[in-house]
């Protein structure tokens, strides 16, 4: 499936101002990238060309200043957590913590992917919630509905990062699948930045399931004292 950039604008938030970029795939599904301190790759190329025409040649002992590695979060849409502050998951706190960290760093991006409920959609997600209310864990609930444990894909991440010329990242994630995908598609993950926030009595078992059954890289003793490791 192919993805194309549609439009962008400034987006002021309580964390600070981002540039918001909209991408669309062949099926008309929209994905969002929020950036701070990153320029569109084509603009970078044009600016470099203009600068090289007007500036004197570099001396042998002069070096170009390297750009810092951006802090990047790949975040799949979670209406219940991101918008409604659900305590069943940690998605809302993860999103807000990542946005704040990127603002403080001054150089990074949030890739907000429209794949609700780990890719099964909102209706099926709520059906899975109902099964969780009966005592089933988050993985078994999906399987009982005949759905995959995790149906997310990340093929849109490459084009989105390429739009702002990013080839290496510090990735905010506990999910090794995201690290592996980027590495397999030519994007170097120079550092994995752990993220454990928003833990509470309602989601501790959910997080333990992700750790024990889905391979997420979480501490053995999940507690609220662990925060974004910048």
Judgement on whether residues 166 and 204 belong to the same structural domain of the protein:
no
Evaluate whether residue 21 is within a structural domain: yes
Whether 213 is a known active-site residue: answer no
Q: What is the pTM of this model?
A: 0.82
Evaluate whether residue 135 is within a structural domain: no
Kindly write down the DSSP assignment for every residue of 47-86, as one continuous string.
HHHHHHHHSPPPPTT--PPPPPPPEEEEEE--IIIIIT--
Whether 127 is a known active-site residue: answer no
Tens digits of per-residue pLDDT, 104-158? 999 999 999 999 999 999 999 999 999 999 999 888 999 999 999 888 889 899 9
Range of the domain at 191: 2-115+152-195
Tens digits of per-residue pLDDT, 176-212? 989 999 998 889 999 999 999 999 888 888 888 888 8
Q: Which of 14, 152, 192, 212 is catalytic?
A: 152
Residues 225, 142: Cα–Cα separation, whole Å: 30
**Reduced to 3 states, what is the DSSP secondary structure of residue 215?**
coil
The pLDDT of 45-74, averaged and rounded, is 53
Q: Is the pLDDT of residue 20 over 90?
A: yes
Binding site per annotation, positions for Zn(2+): 78, 89, 91
Evaluate whether residue 25 is within a structural domain: yes
Among 36-45, 55-64, 209-218, the minimum mean pLDDT is found in 55-64
Judgement on whether residues 53 and 68 belong to the same structural domain of the protein:
yes
Residue 64: pLDDT band by 50, 70, 90 thresholds?
A: very low
């Amino acid at each position: 499936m192919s993805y194309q950039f549609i439009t962008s604008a400034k987006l002021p938030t309580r964390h600070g101002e981002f540039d918001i970029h909209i991408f669309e795939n062949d099926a008309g599904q929209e994905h969002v990238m929020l950036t701070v301190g990153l320029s569109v790759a084509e603009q970078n190329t044009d600016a470099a060309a203009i600068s090289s025409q007007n500036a004197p040649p570099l001396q042998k002992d002069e070096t170009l200043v390297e750009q810092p590695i951006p802090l990047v979060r790949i975040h799949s849409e979670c209406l219940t957590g991101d918008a409604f502050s659900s305590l069943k998951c940690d998605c809302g706190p993860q999103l807000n913590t990542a946005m704040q960290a990127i603002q403080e760093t001054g150089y990074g991006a949030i890739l907000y992917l429209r794949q609700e409920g780990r890719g099964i959609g909102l209706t099926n997600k709520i059906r899975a919630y109902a099964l969780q209310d009966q005592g089933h864990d988050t993985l078994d609930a999906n399987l009982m509905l005949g759905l995959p444990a995790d149906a997310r894909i990340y093929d849109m991440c490459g084009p989105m990062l390429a739009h702002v010329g990013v080839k290496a990242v510090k990735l905010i994630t506990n999910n090794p699948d995201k690290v592996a995908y980027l590495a397999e598609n030519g994007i170097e993950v120079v550092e994995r930045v752990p993220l454990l926030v928003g833990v509470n009595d309602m989601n501790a078992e959910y997080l333990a399931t992700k750790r024990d059954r889905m391979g997420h890289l979480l501490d053995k003793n999940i507690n609220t004292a662990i925060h974004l490791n910048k």
